[in-house]
Amino acid sequence: MSEIETIISGVGSYLPERILTNAELAKTVDTSDEWIRSRSGIAQRHLAADGQATSDLAREAAWAALGQAGLKPKDIGLIIVATVTPDKTFPSTAVYVQEKLGTPPCIAFDVSAACAGFIYALNIAHGFIASGQVKHALVIGAEKLSCFLDWNDRGTCVLFGDGAGAVVLSAETPSVAGPKRGMLATYLSADGRLAPHLYADGGPSTTGTVGLVKMNGKEVFRNAVEEISGAVFEVTERAEVSRHEIDWFVPHQANIRIIQSCAKKLELCESKIIVTIDKHANTSSASIPLALDAGIRDGRIKRGELLVFAALGGGLAWGSALIRY
């Protein structure tokens, strides 16, 4: 890899207008606001409208990220959409986003790594930039999970929501003074033996259907705490940074108890964690860029600070990224 730095030059997110509160959900599902809040930390979730596709959510987030970066669609050389709810089986959702943004021909494809998808996509885009193939990349996590939830399964349907988040990654020449900026270290892994713990029970080459989300909550919880905290240890070691130097932990938002258990293992104070699970629920690949954007917009995350992203989801697949913002 070259000496080029891969920096986050813009961040944006989008949440559909419709909010579904726990109390509203409890009118149609055998659950309660108290159960959902105490077991997961979720108070509400956003739901996409019927006519809104994943590419529509992604387009809004990408447009906001481009604006923050001060770039135009024509400046983008690569679009990656991390999603498990593509508009169509093929082509990629990324090409629909490209078309909706009005981006001239460029590299565009999707990444399927469920809730770890954004971290996988970030790592891939970093490779394209560090190798000099592109100057600016759009990395988007976007999901319309509401379309494949089993609304009769209270063990899963209460946990998820729809939304999109995006970052623009840009190539920068390192400055002579100051610490290295942008992507400092990344770590990815997956273990297909654990696939039965979280999956959709359909697919084009098996059932010919999209399927519905199936989950063994306890096993996912246990693995999430283990692998998310392990992934943070891994990137800090790779970058030779002390965990105590981390300014912000921006974790995948699946369950507040998973986040708190990871923070305890990592000895990270809770005031250094960006939490959006209460308002967004679990938006899979969109959750980290949505949380990042929330932390930047409310003024907590500032330029130059050290951020760590980490996620685990279906696969099981997991990963982390250490970034100087």
* Nearest CB to ligand COA, comparing residues 38 and 131: 38
Q: Which two tokens stand for residue 45?
A: 């979730």
Residue 136 is among the residues annotated as catalytic for this protein: no
Does residue number 58 form part of the binding site for ligand COA (CB under 6 A)? no
For ligand COA, which residue of 61, 64, 78, 224 counts as binding (CB under 6 A)? Answer: 224
Out of 22, 46, 106, 115, which one is annotated catalytic? Answer: 115
Residue 157 is among the residues annotated as catalytic for this protein: no
Query: Per CB under 6 A, which of residues 184..203 are in contact with ligand COA?
Result: none
Which amino acid makes up residue 303?
Answer: R
Out of 126, 136, 197, 252, which one is annotated catalytic? Answer: 252
Does residue number 25 form part of the binding site for ligand COA (CB under 6 A)? no
Stretch that binds ligand COA, among 9-17, 204-212, 254-262, 291-299 (CB under 6 A): 254-262
Does residue number 115 form part of the binding site for ligand COA (CB under 6 A)? yes
Whether 85 and 146 have beta carbons less than 8 Å apart is answered as: no
**3-state class (DSSP) for residue 268:** coil
Give me the least distance between CB of 243 and ligand COA, in Å please. 23
What stretch of H or E contains 9?
A: strand 5-14
* Nearest CB to ligand COA, comparing residues 181 and 197: 197
Whether 68 and 11 have beta carbons less than 8 Å apart is answered as: yes
* Nearest CB to ligand COA, comparing residues 29 and 107: 29
* Nearest CB to ligand COA, comparing residues 15 and 220: 220
Give me the least distance between CB of 116 and ligand COA, in Å please. 8
Which residues, including other chains, have CB under 8 Å from residue 256's CB and lie 6 or more apart?
Answer: 40, 41, 275, 277, 278
Gap between the Cα atoms of 61 and 45, Å rounded: 17
- 3-class SS shares of the chain: helix, strand, coil, % to 5: 40, 25, 35
Best CA proximity match to 148, nearest among 207, 209, 193: 209
* Nearest CB to ligand COA, comparing residues 215 and 262: 215
Gap between the Cα atoms of 147 and 201, Å rounded: 14
**3-state class (DSSP) for residue 139:** strand
Q: Which residues pair with 190 in a beta bridge?
A: 317
Residue 255 is among the residues annotated as catalytic for this protein: no
Stretch that binds ligand COA, among 62-70, 85-93, 144-152, 218-226 (CB under 6 A): 218-226
For ligand COA, which residue of 217, 243, 265, 297 counts as binding (CB under 6 A)? Answer: 217
Give me the half-sphere count of Cα atoms (radius 13 Å) on the Cβ side of residue 199: 11
For ligand COA, which residue of 9, 98, 276, 282 counts as binding (CB under 6 A)? Answer: 282
Best CA proximity match to 99, nearest among 83, 81, 82, 85: 81
Stretch that binds ligand COA, among 53-61, 66-74, 186-194, 210-218 (CB under 6 A): 210-218
* Nearest CB to ligand COA, comparing residues 255 and 276: 255
Whether 188 and 315 have beta carbons less than 8 Å apart is answered as: no
Does residue number 158 form part of the binding site for ligand COA (CB under 6 A)? yes
Gap between the Cα atoms of 201 and 183, Å rounded: 36
* Nearest CB to ligand COA, comparing residues 98 and 284: 284
What stretch of H or E contains 308?
A: strand 306-313
Does residue number 320 form part of the binding site for ligand COA (CB under 6 A)? no
Q: Which residues are catalytic?
A: 115, 252, 282
Binding site for ligand COA (CB under 6 A): 31, 35-36, 39-40, 115, 154-155, 158, 215, 217-218, 220-221, 224, 254-255, 258, 282, 313
